[in-house]
Chains A and B, each alone.
Chain A
């Protein structure tokens, strides 16, 4: 009886709450980014794409080149294959362009990308999901000053930096994107390349994440052992209490 009364009391609140939870803003459908966070070959490929296509306009100013040792590269490999603008491997991934110049040329300075994979997470998906979908959703739009638009990031300021690889997409009447002019890569190859790039961006967002999880496991196992002893000790003492 009491339970039914309580249920009756709460029913309208829950009804209101479920209605309230709905009706949020527009839904954003994101493709799931393949998880390549621990795949060093993919990360190295992603790093190469990043350095060649992104690091001209976007800095990654919290990321030091020699940190790339994490993904299995030696200082010599980093120096030879990835460093175009810095002199020492200990330097961060800066760009030559100044903020003032960038603002004058593009209207807004391209954002630093070190932790972009962390900032782009939302209720619709993880940061990597957003990036993976975004980088594959550019289409030709002559109405835009850059000639490019994006279905994930409407009226994006950035032109399609990877268009040579993907080719040129157009938006059909149904809102779907299709490749009109093929690029250097097939759609499958392009998706793969973007997945590698996104994996690298994810790595760069938090290089310590894999070590963090390994360490966490050890910490929890240790605390589990401590718990057994602490509980035994408590039981031992509490024998006195009646």
Chain B
């Protein structure tokens, strides 16, 4: 589009004049057009397309409430005159002594959970309609980075109230890093700045939570949206609306984002706010899921609560971590080797990559799986074996990390001829349903204390979880898909 079209021409009024003045110096009109009034979005967005704008809303809510909380919160682990850690007392101070502090705090604590609800649904939309497929790989990768960043933000923020769950949750997660070979113990000490989670940890987590992470998050959100507006939105039919344009170059199935989707999203926002308010005002603890009961007890470094569980939004990944016990590792590698045989051999990957993969998995299997199986035969207790110097703890951390990072590989794992679940075959529908069920079960088990039975279930679900991704190159090719329409439907 020519630059002159994007410059505002004054209509002689004061506001018109001001707009023209600004436009001569700043691309206000052109930005407005490019991202709103002349950003053409497919006209067939459904329910699942509300969650992007809602995520943005929650981000703003968290930043605004956060700014006001920082005015009163004190990241200080020392004890006050009544023997309560200053940080913990300052949260109660916000809840009681600061005018409306309780509301701001509940908005922030509920907002944290709402963020994950919205983001999980937003990601699931991607799985439903293939929003990660070419040419939207980078949008997906930026989105995954946002998700990672959000997990960090939530983890750092959770320490700040300095309750028992804050404290022991941070202790456990930071100690995960000590599983990394060689540098692990030093690394976790460096992260804490102390031998246990302490005042230094609280201060640096505060810094990460209020400055570092939000800055990165904002940058990534900008990148996510810029990338989206570069290629245009996907839609429930998974067809490209840019393929059919009218004489003016406007997609036939596209409508301007503003006013159509702004008006639609406002409805979504109001519905969201109703649900959100119902939680904030009527059940801010949400049965112990949004505000854990044990976190109403100040951090006590000498006493671990009988049962510690991460907040609900971490539990699926936490379950994957716990599922990896030493006797599960051989199965994991057998599973990966089997997948390699199924997926990698018939794929179009370069020969070198195939050989590399098979070599790697084969080596891991020989190194880890075979000794374990042999040990099982001769009756040595598996837990006592240290696999090539690495313990189950390490592989648990690796599996947990992989369970998040693997999401980023989706654009290259999906070989289906169609994008949307509307035209995919029964295999994908079943596999996706299994995946969702496994994800929920992992999430549920992550809240509970482990028992042998639960560990077994979580191991099965872990295999389903990874199977969904790793087997995708295979099942997405053999699935009986329906033909995609040329234009969007309904």
Q: A residues near B, CB below 8 A?
A: 2, 5-6, 9-10, 13, 16-17, 19-21, 23-25, 59, 61-64, 67, 92, 94, 99, 109, 111-112, 114-115, 118-122, 127, 205-208, 212-213, 215-217, 219-220, 223-224, 226-227, 230-231, 233-234, 237-238, 240-241
Contact = CB atoms under 8 A, between A and B. Distances in A.
Contacts, number: 136
Interface in B425-477: 426, 430, 433-434, 437-438, 441, 444-445, 448-449, 451, 453-454, 456-457, 460-461
Contacts of A62: 89, 92-93, 95-96
Identify whether the interface residues of B are mostly helix, strand, loop, or mixed.
helix
Contact of A59 (B82, B93, B266, B426): B82
A234 B264 contact: yes
Nearest to B273: A223
Contact of B293 (A127, A231, A234): A127
Contacts of B285: 118, 121
10 contacts: A13-B437, A13-B460, A16-B453, A24-B449, A25-B306, A61-B89, A216-B278, A220-B277, A220-B278, A223-B274
A215 B298 CA distance: 29
Given A61-B84, A64-B97, A241-B255, A216 B280 contact: yes
A20 B293 contact: no
B18 interface: no
Given A10-B434, A122-B293, 11 more contacts: A6-B430, A19-B453, A25-B306, A61-B89, A119-B297, A207-B96, A215-B281, A219-B277, A238-B263, A241-B255, A241-B260
A112 B295 CA distance: 14
Interface in B32-60: 43
Contacts of B461: 13
A59 B80 CA distance: 13
B85 to A, nearest CB: 11
A213 B266 contact: no
Contacts of A121: 285, 288, 293
A216 B451 CA distance: 41
B296 to A, nearest CB: 4
B106 to A, nearest CB: 8
B102 A212 contact: yes
A115 B457 contact: no
Interface string B271-284: 10110011011101
A115 B296 contact: yes
A9 B430 contact: yes
